[in-house]
Amino acid sequence: MRHFRLNPNAALLASVSMILIGGTALQAASMDSKIEQSAKTSHNFKTHLKDDNIKVASSDGVVALSGTVSSEYHKLLAQETVSGLPGVKAVNNNLKVIGDQPSENSDAWGTTKVKTVLAFHKNVSASATAVTTEKGVVTLTGKTHSEA
C-alpha cells in the first residue's frame, strides 16, 4: 500500500483554483443565457422577426444564428439586433433566406435594398421608417430626431 503526503498549501491552492475555474464557467454560462434571452425578447425579434424561425445559441459571447427567415433584410436585422446586445463578442449568421424573393431591379427589390441600408445607418431607425417603391421611385416616411 502506498502512502501519499499531501502538502496543505498545495491542497488549498488546488481547491481555490477549482472554485475560480468553476465560477468563471458558471458566469460565462449565465452571460450566454442572458444573451439568448435578450435576443428572443428584443423588440425586433418580437415584432419584425416573429414569423421567422430563428434559433439563437451563445457560447462564451459568440452567438450563432440558425434557422430560416423570409428575406435578406430579416437576416441582417437579426444579426444587427444580436450584435448590439451586452456581452456579445461576435455573431455567426447561418440564417437561410427562404421563399420567393423579389426579382432584381423590381420595386420590391428596391424596397428591400433600401431597408437593408437603413438597418445599418446609425441615425435612422429602419423599423420606424416606412419604405415604399413605385416605378423605381423610393419614398421614405417617418419621423426623425435630427437632420442627420
Count, residues in the chain:
148
Would you write out the chain's pLDDT as a tens digit for each of its 148 residues? Answer: 566 666 666 666 666 566 555 555 546 678 899 999 999 999 889 988 999 999 999 999 999 999 999 888 889 889 989 998 999 999 999 999 998 777 777 888 888 888 877 776 777 777 788 888 999 899 988 887 777 7
- How would DSSP label each residue in 37-98? HHHHTSHHHHTTTTTSEEEEEEETTEEEEEEEESSHHHHHHHHHHHHTSTT--EEEE--EE-
pLDDT of residue 59: 93
pLDDT of residue 76: 87
Neighbours of 114 (CB within 10 A): 19
Residue 54 C-alpha cell reads as 430563428
Residue 129 three-state SS: coil
pTM (two decimals)? 0.62
d(CA 30, CA 114): 37
